[in-house]
Structure 1
Amino acid sequence: MNSPLSSATPRVYTPVSELHVHAEHLQAQSLSDLLGSGSTAAQQRANALAFTFGSLHIDFSKQRLTTKTLMLLKDWVESCGLAAKRQALFAGAKVNTSERRAALHVAARWPSSETPPEGMESAAAFCQHQRKRMAEMVERVHSGKWYGATGQAITDIVHIGVGGSDLGPKLVSEALADRPSSAKVNVHYVSTMDGAQLLPLMECLNPATTLLVLASKSFTTADTQFNVRTALAWLSHALEVDEATVCRHQLIGVSSKPDKMAEFGVPEAQQLVFKEWIGGRFSLWSPIGISVAMQLGVACFDALLAGAHAMDKHFLHTPIEENLPALVALVGAWNSQFLNIPTHAVLPYDGRLKSLPAYLQQLEMESNGKSVGLDGRSVTHATCPILWGDVGPNGQHAFYQLLHQGVHTVSADFVAVAQRAGVGCEKVNRSLKAQEQLTLAHCLAQSQLFALGDDAIPQALRGLMAQGYRGNQPNSVVLLKTLDAWSIGALLALYEHKVFVQSVLWNLNPFDQPGVELGKRLATSLYQTLADEPVEYQNVEDPSTAQLLHKVNEWRK
């Protein structure tokens, strides 16, 4: 009779363990091998790893993976229950478990012409009502019928917010307002708590024709509260009216806390509300986006929502193997967890998308930058990578040297726009077209060089160019046909759903941000110390902070 110790124990394979084994096998293959110049197999692989949805096209062929990798990743995400969890997200289930609430930002872009999923009905109806109220406010400004405290029509909007109440609207404003003739009204964004963005506006704007938009989910965030207090003080002094009068005529509030808006002095007719089940970093689609509509028009804002909604339906109904948000998420998780790549660069090759890296930093790192799972246990593997980036052509003159010849492995998204409308005379348009072609050429060249390294050097340049390009840096190319409202709506919704899919893979709650809060609380006590006010509670003392406080106080005197 055989001893149990002498019999071989069968190895239990899970999707994760199979992916680890597969990753070990792929380590022997470089991207140069996978892209194998001119081979039929390489061409077939490239074709199989390129996907198009509407005016978005994503090429994964410069990622260190094969179609087998995607098959294994698909098995993994299905074993994590994505289908049921995705259904729960759209049905308004309490997927934000720590705060015991739904995450229904998709309801904010659900059109009134379509029946929402069961469970989303009341949320969609509420959002559509607020959207109608927002449109009425916008029309009042555009028609010249919104008057400031001294009776002059509004010409400028100062949008005061931070984080999700700033990054999304600011990104869309920059991306779509490249032609001044398309702007309905001027919009200016203020987020930094030090007042550095606000002060120049106070010097150049007409206080009689400036409307403030105070955008804050909690309506208590210190950054926004201090900025709006300074802005109100400026308007009150310049117009020689009290702050209550300024609030009645030149302040819109956007928040999930109507009682706090009323207490602050925002008239009910100038309040826009979104519910707690829309997280700050997912709130662009709610009335938080009013400044986009003010600047570019309600039709443009509706097109933004339409693009996002189209991506919602694609995500909800498309099989995993063709589902763009799921594929982007799976590729990202593969790089982070199995190829052990700790950072991810976002490299837009269009200056209008200069704020995309910052927007995605908050969206992804605040959502999935966590090490404790839904079960309360510590996560034992990599989760969200560190996101960073800049406009690609600028980065080429800054940090690309390290990416090409340094020792760090980085994954990347190259984001480019294929075509751009003419903006001037024929001579100017010819020059601009050449610039656009050069920018696209640089994007494609850098993506190739990231992947192939020295193997990207043409034979004719061998021996003439310095070598040492390490290559093997996996990257995707995200190509937009044009940079219009629909396309950017679809693009941002794609990244939102990417975050959700990765949270399912990593068993995280992507809709809370407990790590943000402690720093705010510590700052409150230090602020009271600096302001020589009674301290609510004493911070933990350390000699480094003590000496810095001493030096600050010494110099401020």
Structure 2
Amino acid sequence: MQNPSLHKLLNQAAASPHIKNLQQLWANNPQRHQQFHLETESLYLDLSKNWLDNNSLDLLHQLAESCQLQEAIEKLFNGKQVNHTEQSTAGHTALRDPHHSDYQANLTAMFNLADRIDSQHIKTAFGKPVKQWVNIGIGGSYLGPRLVIEALTELQSESRIPVYFAASVDDSLINQLFRTIDIEHCLFCISSKSFGTVETLMNARAIESKLRACSGYQPQAGQSSLMAITAKPEKARQHGIPDDMILAFDDNIGGRFSLWSAIGFPIVMAAGKKAFKNLLVGAYKMDCHFRQAPLPGNLPVTMALLAVWYRNYMQLSAYGCLPYDARLRCLPQWLQQLMMESTGKMHNNAGQIIDYATAPWVFGDHGQLSQHAFFQAFHQGLDALPLDFIGVIDDSPNQQFLLYNMLAQGAALMQGREEDSSMAGCPGNKPSTTLLMKRMDAVALGELLAMYEHMVYTQSVIWDINCFDQPGVELGKTLAKQIQEYVTTGSLNQLHLDPSTLSLINQVSPKIKESNHD
């Protein structure tokens, strides 16, 4: 964001009277839908309902070029340092490149373990075959795998076992989980890049306690109810996990970019090896497109530029993700973490405090359910915001009905409705983007997810920030640990908290309340 003259032109374009008038934009260019769409093998992107014209789009392409975007893309794929604060590369794209050594090593480790489980060479600590799986993880160790499993498992004839997730530290959820599963036939996997995430380790200890309380629980060679997926295998060994039940991945793979790594092993167990390989195929297709397509036809780059246009020049602070397919119901939460943890930064790569906005507030839900929840604010509220409507082309009558609803919402937001009664009128002129998956399969899903990853990376290049670290997340973890130590010891040593928080600690902690009462 270092080109003052270009920023001035973009601000002038955003202030132009016609740019926020969709009716005028269409009147000026009745063929917008042909000009403002992009396509890959699996995706069709329609941008024609956005506050955008040829001039503003050309200026945005110039902005990308001025930020040396193509050079930054090559750094990502060539294993150059792109995570400047941690002085590391970003290895997630190598895991889906069939020409890279990491690709085959990753698949071999995962598939070998899957085959051993599937053939009953590995049994649970009760001596029973594995028929269920629980993934103990949070954040990137949870959102990506869950999204893919929900999207793909009903399509796969190779599906092995049902997969459950233990993400939140919440007794009610853990108790509900144990009412659902058959513990003697269940394999529990501790998924944590650092093997130090407090929530994950607390859940792991709670589950281990329940296992030890069961009669017949006898861990031994070839029999284990626990395994681990981590970038710190030595910590998993210290935890007592056998070497042959540990899947490791490199530390240069960010958690929210990690579903392509061993973190995706639950996908292999639930949807099968072929589905996971096809997921990588789709992601690699998008990698090639992102790397090779010229800027005007580059789908993730265009998505990123549109988001920058709305955030920095239209001054819109939110971003909606609205999938009209229940199989993609976890996509908004996954994208929320991907975008907000990656681009929610206040320092540029040189460590300087920036004076421009970065991450928008990302939200969303299943589209049709959202129509009956918060779409009213879109149609008649005073604010506008960029919305991604995401649909899956399908011959099923019900799925087609969902698509018709989605298309109607985009049209209604743009066209509005005039009524004699002002209370019933909708002003229209609200922008939106429509993204169609041409089918729902692993290849198409891989393309979609890799597209959003590259969109976020492109945003980070334009904003000159590091999208692979997350220092703000660590602050809350540190304070939580300090509060827990304070409650345990009753000591205020190095606990610098405000009176309100200290008072609330006293309210929620019986131990502290009893001490104060005495």
Structure 1 and Structure 2 fold alike (TM over 0.5): yes
The match for 1:102 is 89
For residues 386 and 493 of structure 2, the distance between their equivalents in structure 1, rounded to whole angstroms, comes to 44
Question: Which of 327, 330, 336 lines up with 2:311 in the alignment?
Answer: 336
Q: Verify the 8 A CA contact 2:126 2:223 in the aligned structure 1.
A: no
Question: Which of 406, 415, 427 lines up with 1:443 in the alignment?
Answer: 406
Residues 517-551 of structure 1: CA distance to partner in whole angstroms, max 9, x if unpaired?
Answer: 11111111111233x23659432232212221222
The match for 1:192 is 168
For residues 85 and 46 of structure 1, the distance between their equivalents in structure 2, rounded to whole angstroms, comes to 31
Amino acid at match of 1:30: N
Moved more, 83-92 or 287-296: 83-92
For residues 190 and 299 of structure 2, the distance between their equivalents in structure 1, rounded to whole angstroms, comes to 35
Q: Verify the 8 A CA contact 1:311 1:490 in the aligned structure 2.
A: yes
Q: Are 1:83 and 2:70 counterparts?
A: yes
Moved more, 445-454 or 226-235: 445-454
CA drift at 1:464: 8.3
Flag as ranges the 4+ runs of structure 1 deviating above 6 A: none
Identity among equivalent positions (%) equals 36
CA drift at 1:553: 2.9
In the superposition, the TM-score normalised over structure 2's length comes to: 0.94
Question: Which of 396, 407, 415 lines up with 2:371 in the alignment?
Answer: 396
CA drift at 1:132: 0.4
For residues 553 and 261 of structure 1, the distance between their equivalents in structure 2, rounded to whole angstroms, comes to 31
Moved more, 86-95 or 546-555: 546-555
Cα 1:350–1:307 change in 2 (3 A) is same
Number of equivalent positions? 511
Please list, as runs of the form range in 1=range in 2, the aligned pairs for 1:64-463 lying within 5 A after superposition. Answer: 64-111=51-98, 114=99, 124-178=100-154, 183-241=159-217, 245=220, 249-419=224-394, 433-454=396-417, 463=420
Residues 202-234 of structure 1: CA distance to partner in whole angstroms, max 9, x if unpaired?
Answer: 123222110011110000000110111111111
Residues 415-455 of structure 1: CA distance to partner in whole angstroms, max 9, x if unpaired?
Answer: 001115xxxxxxxxxxxx3322221111001111222222x
Aligned to 2:29, the other structure's residue is in SS state: helix
Residues 286-322 of structure 1: CA distance to partner in whole angstroms, max 9, x if unpaired?
Answer: 0100001001100000000110010001101111110
Aligned to 1:410, the other structure's residue is in SS state: coil
Cα 1:241–1:142 change in 2 (3 A) is closer
For residues 492 and 281 of structure 2, the distance between their equivalents in structure 1, rounded to whole angstroms, comes to 48
Cα 1:537–1:412 change in 2 (3 A) is farther
Amino acid at match of 2:15: E
Please list, as runs of the form range in 1=range in 2, the aligned pairs for 1:445-484 lying within 5 A after superposition. Answer: 445-454=408-417, 463=420, 467-484=424-441
Cα 1:245–1:549 change in 2 (3 A) is farther
Q: Are 1:553 and 2:516 counterparts?
A: no
CA drift at 1:471: 2.4
Q: Verify the 8 A CA contact 1:202 1:234 in the aligned structure 2.
A: no
Amino acid at match of 1:280: G
CA drift at 1:256: 0.7
Residues 369-409 of structure 1: CA distance to partner in whole angstroms, max 9, x if unpaired?
Answer: 11211122222122121100111111111111111111222
Aligned to 1:214, the other structure's residue is in SS state: strand
CA drift at 1:252: 1.8
Q: Verify the 8 A CA contact 2:155 2:441 in the aligned structure 1.
A: no
In the superposition, the TM-score normalised over structure 1's length comes to: 0.88
Amino acid at match of 1:507: D
Cα 1:320–1:293 change in 2 (3 A) is same
Q: Verify the 8 A CA contact 2:148 2:267 in the aligned structure 1.
A: yes
CA drift at 1:247: 10
Q: Which runs of 5+ in 2 are unaligned?
A: none
Amino acid at match of 1:70: L
Aligned to 1:51, the other structure's residue is in SS state: strand
Cα 1:402–1:31 change in 2 (3 A) is same
Cα 1:29–1:150 change in 2 (3 A) is closer
Moved more, 378-387 or 347-356: 378-387
CA drift at 1:352: 1.1
Q: Verify the 8 A CA contact 1:207 1:239 in the aligned structure 2.
A: no
Q: Verify the 8 A CA contact 2:324 2:368 in the aligned structure 1.
A: yes
Aligned to 2:116, the other structure's residue is in SS state: helix
For residues 407 and 523 of structure 1, the distance between their equivalents in structure 2, rounded to whole angstroms, comes to 39
Aligned to 2:424, the other structure's residue is in SS state: coil
For residues 340 and 29 of structure 1, the distance between their equivalents in structure 2, rounded to whole angstroms, comes to 13
Cα 1:28–1:56 change in 2 (3 A) is closer
CA drift at 1:194: 2.0
Question: Which of 13, 20, 23 lines up with 2:14 in the alignment?
Answer: 23
CA RMSD of aligned residues (A): 2.1
Cα 1:452–1:539 change in 2 (3 A) is farther
Moved more, 179-188 or 345-354: 179-188
Cα 1:265–1:73 change in 2 (3 A) is same
Larger Rg: 1
For residues 419 and 182 of structure 1, the distance between their equivalents in structure 2, rounded to whole angstroms, comes to 22
The match for 1:9 is none
Amino acid at match of 1:130: N
Cα 1:21–1:465 change in 2 (3 A) is closer
CA drift at 1:351: 1.1
CA drift at 1:489: 0.6
Q: Are 1:539 and 2:495 counterparts?
A: yes
Q: Verify the 8 A CA contact 2:136 2:191 in the aligned structure 1.
A: yes
Moved more, 409-418 or 232-241: 232-241
CA drift at 1:161: 0.7
Amino acid at match of 1:85: A
Q: Verify the 8 A CA contact 1:450 1:474 in the aligned structure 2.
A: yes
Residues 170-214 of structure 1: CA distance to partner in whole angstroms, max 9, x if unpaired?
Answer: 000111123586531110011102243322121232221100111
Q: Are 1:521 and 2:478 counterparts?
A: yes
Amino acid at match of 1:66: D
Q: Verify the 8 A CA contact 1:248 1:266 in the aligned structure 2.
A: no
Amino acid at match of 2:130: I
CA drift at 1:88: 0.9
The match for 1:48 is 35
Aligned to 2:456, the other structure's residue is in SS state: helix
